[in-house]
Structure 1
Amino acid sequence: MASLKHQYIYLDGDSLTTEQLVQLGNGTYKIKLTPEVETKVNKSRDLVEKIIDEGQVVYGINTGFGKFARTVIPHDKLEELQENVVHSTAVGVGDPLTPERSRMLLALRINVLAKGYSGISLKTLNQIIQAFNASCLSYVPEKGTVGASGDLAPLAHLALGLMGEGKMWSPKSGWADAKYVLQAHGLQPISLKAKEGLALINGTQMITSLGVEAVERATMISRQADIIAALTLEVLKGTTRGFDSGIHDLRPHPGQVEVAARFRSLLHSDVHPSEIAGSHRFCDRVQDPYSLRCCPQVHGVVNDTIAFVKTILVTEMNSATDNPIVFAERGEIISGGNFHGEYPAKALDYLAIGVHELASISERRIERLCNPSLSELPAFLVKDGGLNCGFMMAHCTAAALVSENKVLCHPSSVDSLSTSAATEDHVSMGGWAARKALRVVEHVEQVLTIELLAACQGLEFLRPLHTTEPLEKVYQLIRSMVKPLVRDRFMTSDFEIVQKLLIEGKVWQAVQPYMEHD
């Protein structure tokens, strides 16, 4: 299994987790193979060599690709064939993946190769692992995959750098010619043998690796959205009645129940009393607007969406997505369609639609905080309104991000364009599904950043009253990094600081000891 030992994650092709892949991406761990993997990889390669020696005709080993599948390639051209498929497929455009994302992509491709169904040689696989462990990372343009025969173009660029061609990045060299980057780390470029070029470029690893980052960031921001919303509810002097466990037991969706429990842990109770809640105990309000009262129902389905998408991605991460697939035990190499990106594409479109709702409802709460007719607070949360604009334009930024997300949430996977002379006649468009899911998650983080700052600013006007102990911990965390808004100032840097706290899960860490179930 994928286990941790001495700063290494041991890959077996079957049990890599999303958390481990993110750790591999940020450079926390290096990679080693389990002993069982070496045996499987060798058996798979032995079958490829046997087929070549016997002169059998098998797609991808001694035939052309796509429309040229019926073209048989002479024995003395098989290595050139593999180089050609990488060269001809490395046609991506756009900005390169960041080193972290390129590292995740490479780690995930190694995990698939470790399954032992790709036909790659152990020598080549070990060379790739050495490059990963040295953080020698290929230049991979983010655009150019339709998610049909997997992420062909990005994976070809990944292979190209390992071959010593194109550009590479390492902490030692920055961006430079790949052959010099490898040389600087004492590494040899890989030399492709029969089937190995195709083994490196067939699969859904860019869709999936970017999707893993999206789902992990979505997980973290969804947890913290509950905390931020609870703080806003306190500032707006809302009621806790809507979070009564009896209500949610009658509609027991797991995410809804979980969010309601978090609100109960954070808001006024005998365990954690709130002076602010006590100050409006006898008011005549019966219920709050939906953006406060319905948080368990709205945030809850986001949690369930994330859990569903994560299940799909974990399966995809540990699946053989090659074509053809080498069945060493059966002595067969069979063409199939495991490379098709529809599973992760559909899941990531769903993730974008689901997680966007956290920003949509957050923007409505920001409106309530900023609007004096709804908040009973100073207009736009600032003294000397008119001279100062306060959070007026910060709310506009949140509205702009929510509006942009509405376009980004249009599913890319409903589109398909026939390519490769109608051989690849249905595609997933999964690469764009993954990239826009990440952008949606980033926008959600930014909108909730604005709400968190606005809620903390609103709290200033309720002093000397205090909220509950866990929510005071959140306030103290934010105020340790960002001062109250006494008069208008440049706020973008404040947003960046707080978004970083959210990405790192600091707000969640501040309240986790107070949670009922987490």
Structure 2
Amino acid sequence: MSALVLTGAGVSVEDVTSVARDARKVDVVPDVMERLDKARKVLDRVAASGQQIYGLNTGLGANLGTSVEGDASAFQRQLLEGRSGAVGEVLPVETVRATMFARAAMLSAGGSGLSPAVFDGLVQALNAGVHPVMPSLGSIGAGDLVLMTAIARVLIGEGEADYQGRRMPAGKALMMARLVPVSLAPKDGLSLINASAVSTGSGALAVADALSALAQQQQAGALTMEALGANRTILDPRLQTARPAAGQQQAAKSQRDLLAREETLTPKTLQDPLSIRCMPSIHGALIEAIGQAKRAVEIELNAAADNPLVLGDDGMVLSTGNFHTASLALAFETLGLAIAQCAAACAARFIQLTGSSRNGLPKYLSPVGGASAGFVPLQKTVAAILASIRHKANPVMLDFLPVSEGVEDHATQTPLAVAKCAEMIVLWRRLIAFELMAAAQAVDLRDGLVLAPGTSAIHAAVRAHVSSLREDRPLGPDAEPLYASLAGGAWQA
């Protein structure tokens, strides 16, 4: 795989996933280093003029009125030590890599004043696989600086790192990777940490996962329509044009393509339950929400979000609120609600498939009947999963307290909004797995049913992981390999 080249613009969600999950290397064009050098010289010149610069010659937060005395470089190390307050479970390596790359992408825009050598140290650590051990709790979304200190400390040889699958002191990891600790010039410590790179990097991974889960949900919905003999006129493009709601035309087209066949089928019903009939609307709303979250993430990836911000062309250093990610948090709160709505419809279709025999299918999808439980016990599991998804869909971006003596009296909770959205996607995929299982079973129980080429491939993919139910057996364990395929990127239909 060729290296990903940072130019200071054009970084995408797909770029983040390739670096985070596929260990893609990162190169930097000379223009970026020149931009960083120019901004560093502006910062030094403005500082020498006596201007107050937040985090360079002043304290942080409520200490912003306190002047930094003595060695300004030593203050940067003190700044990192004093803000290493994160706790809890450590972030997965892929999230750490996404965060490191996101920060490098942001820094390449050139607004931080970060020393070029420190930037180079960050990129080298990422390419060498020196991954800081980053606790997950500590950011309220007014920048992720408490979490980000783990990265900065590893670059100076402090803290712990994960290297080649082993947790060790950062200095040892750097030595084994043949790297040396960086030296911090004034403001370098703040430039490394005062950004929303955790939110942005993990947000990019969540968007990628939401896109793949949506495609799988479209497949499950199409197989359900086949199994129930649903009325396919709901997918007619003229209906979508009549009410061109967000994403609806795209969602309907995807399902039309999956269900496409030469012959025309006579529907079994005039109108199907809403979880089936309204799939284009439900999935379309999710398509729009994913798109908005993707746009919000990519704005952050390509933005100079530092405070203070160095305006290299104007020779100025100005305080900003660019680290504040209200729009990013709102995008992921919206995405979470859209996922919850889609998951609820998925669960409803599972109940339709596995309930009574009114759809012309055997009760509980059991081929033996009588006292057989068939698929009906899984209705409880589905209901439990949906309840967890709905719980996580509750917004958190307004849940903050004023901190730092009231100087920081607003927050976005973006990391939490992104994290709970990612957790919802994991649960939603489990519902998709159950719908696929039930729809495949229903197809098997319909004598003489000939599937469309698209849905036939979906059915075969399910059967590659789960065999048809012929008598009662533990269906929970049966679902695990199918879920693992959906979640792990091995799913092909």
Corresponding residue to 2:34 among 28, 31, 39: 39
| Deviating more after overlay: 213-222 vs 102-111 | 213-222
How has the CA–CA distance of structure 1 residues 85 and 368 changed in structure 2, closer, same or farther, with 3 Å as cutoff?
Answer: same
Corresponding residue to 1:11 among 3, 6, 12: 6
Corresponding letter in the other structure for 2:329: A
Are 1:195 and 2:187 counterparts? Answer: yes
TM superposition shift of 1:86: 1.1
Corresponding letter in the other structure for 1:179: G
Q: Which residue of 1 aligns with 2:88?
A: 94
Corresponding letter in the other structure for 1:459: V
User: How many pairs align?
Assistant: 493
How has the CA–CA distance of structure 1 residues 132 and 386 changed in structure 2, closer, same or farther, with 3 Å as cutoff?
Answer: farther
- Structure 2 CA distance, aligned partners of 1:200 and 1:300? 39
Q: Is the 8 A contact 2:368 2:470 kept in 1?
A: no
| Deviating more after overlay: 432-441 vs 27-36 | 27-36
Q: Is the 8 A contact 2:8 2:106 kept in 1?
A: yes
Q: Which residue of 2 aligns with 1:3?
A: none
Corresponding residue to 2:285 among 276, 296, 301: 301
After superposition, the C-alpha distances for 1:69-91 in whole angstroms (9 at most, x for unaligned) are 121112x3212211111111111
Are 1:67 and 2:62 counterparts? Answer: yes
Q: Which residue of 2 aligns with 1:104?
A: 98
Are 1:161 and 2:145 counterparts? Answer: no
TM superposition shift of 1:360: 0.4
Q: Which residue of 1 aligns with 2:203?
A: 211
Q: Which residue of 1 aligns with 2:240?
A: 248
How has the CA–CA distance of structure 1 residues 463 and 373 changed in structure 2, closer, same or farther, with 3 Å as cutoff?
Answer: closer
Q: Which residue of 1 aligns with 2:218?
A: 226
Are 1:261 and 2:261 counterparts? Answer: no
User: Following superposition of structure 1 onto structure 2, how do residues 358-507 of structure 1 map, counting pairs within 5 Å?
Assistant: 358-385=342-369, 388-503=372-487
Q: Which residue of 2 aligns with 1:126?
A: 120
Using structure 1 for the length normalisation, give the TM-score. Answer: 0.91
User: Following superposition of structure 1 onto structure 2, how do residues 110-189 of structure 1 map, counting pairs within 5 Å?
Assistant: 110-148=104-142, 150-171=143-164, 173-189=165-181
How has the CA–CA distance of structure 1 residues 249 and 367 changed in structure 2, closer, same or farther, with 3 Å as cutoff?
Answer: same
TM superposition shift of 1:120: 1.0
TM superposition shift of 1:264: 1.9
After superposition, the C-alpha distances for 1:109-145 in whole angstroms (9 at most, x for unaligned) are 0111111111111111111111100111001111111
How has the CA–CA distance of structure 1 residues 84 and 395 changed in structure 2, closer, same or farther, with 3 Å as cutoff?
Answer: same
After superposition, the C-alpha distances for 1:264-309 in whole angstroms (9 at most, x for unaligned) are 2222542xx48xx4xxx375x3111111111111111111111122
After superposition, the C-alpha distances for 1:303-360 in whole angstroms (9 at most, x for unaligned) are 1111122111111111111110111221111111001121211111111001221110
Corresponding letter in the other structure for 1:394: L
- Structure 1 CA distance, aligned partners of 2:401 and 2:299? 26
| Deviating more after overlay: 369-378 vs 433-442 | 369-378
- Determine what percentage of the aligned residue pairs are the same residue: 29
Corresponding letter in the other structure for 2:78: N
After superposition, the C-alpha distances for 1:239-268 in whole angstroms (9 at most, x for unaligned) are 112212221110112511112112222225
Corresponding letter in the other structure for 2:111: Y
| Deviating more after overlay: 439-448 vs 104-113 | 439-448
| Deviating more after overlay: 260-269 vs 24-33 | 260-269
Corresponding letter in the other structure for 2:405: A
How has the CA–CA distance of structure 1 residues 282 and 348 changed in structure 2, closer, same or farther, with 3 Å as cutoff?
Answer: closer
Q: Which residue of 1 aligns with 2:330?
A: 346
Structure 2 residues without counterparts, runs of 5 or longer: none
After superposition, the C-alpha distances for 1:361-394 in whole angstroms (9 at most, x for unaligned) are 0000000111123432223223334664332232
Are 1:317 and 2:301 counterparts? Answer: yes
TM superposition shift of 1:107: 0.4
How has the CA–CA distance of structure 1 residues 194 and 357 changed in structure 2, closer, same or farther, with 3 Å as cutoff?
Answer: same
- Structure 2 CA distance, aligned partners of 1:259 and 1:230? 11
- Structure 2 CA distance, aligned partners of 1:39 and 1:505? 39
Q: What secondary structure does 1:410 align onto?
A: coil
- Structure 2 CA distance, aligned partners of 1:329 and 1:244? 54
Q: Is the 8 A contact 2:148 2:198 kept in 1?
A: yes
- Structure 1 CA distance, aligned partners of 2:12 and 2:245? 25
Q: Is the 8 A contact 1:368 1:374 kept in 2?
A: no
Q: Which residue of 2 aligns with 1:289?
A: 273
- Structure 2 CA distance, aligned partners of 1:387 and 1:286? 32
TM superposition shift of 1:506: 5.7
TM superposition shift of 1:234: 1.1
- Structure 2 CA distance, aligned partners of 1:27 and 1:260? 32
Q: What secondary structure does 2:71 align onto?
A: helix
Corresponding letter in the other structure for 2:133: Y
- Structure 1 CA distance, aligned partners of 2:3 and 2:267? 58
Structure 1 residues without counterparts, runs of 5 or longer: 1-5, 511-518
- Structure 2 CA distance, aligned partners of 1:245 and 1:49? 61
Corresponding letter in the other structure for 2:321: G
Cα RMSD, aligned residues only? 1.9
| Deviating more after overlay: 95-104 vs 489-498 | 489-498
Q: Which residue of 2 aligns with 1:237?
A: 229
- Structure 1 CA distance, aligned partners of 2:437 and 2:163? 37
Q: Which residue of 2 aligns with 1:516?
A: none
Corresponding letter in the other structure for 1:70: G
How has the CA–CA distance of structure 1 residues 182 and 388 changed in structure 2, closer, same or farther, with 3 Å as cutoff?
Answer: farther
Using structure 2 for the length normalisation, give the TM-score. Answer: 0.95
User: Following superposition of structure 1 onto structure 2, how do residues 72-87 of structure 1 map, counting pairs within 5 Å?
Assistant: 72-74=67-69, 76-87=70-81
Q: Is the 8 A contact 1:259 1:300 kept in 2?
A: yes
Q: Which residue of 2 aligns with 1:513?
A: none
Q: Is the 8 A contact 1:140 1:158 kept in 2?
A: yes
Q: What secondary structure does 2:179 align onto?
A: coil
Q: Is the 8 A contact 1:105 1:206 kept in 2?
A: yes
Are 1:24 and 2:8 counterparts? Answer: no
Q: Is the 8 A contact 2:79 2:189 kept in 1?
A: yes
- Structure 2 CA distance, aligned partners of 1:355 and 1:117? 35
Q: Is the 8 A contact 2:229 2:267 kept in 1?
A: no
| Deviating more after overlay: 490-499 vs 428-437 | 490-499
TM superposition shift of 1:39: 0.6
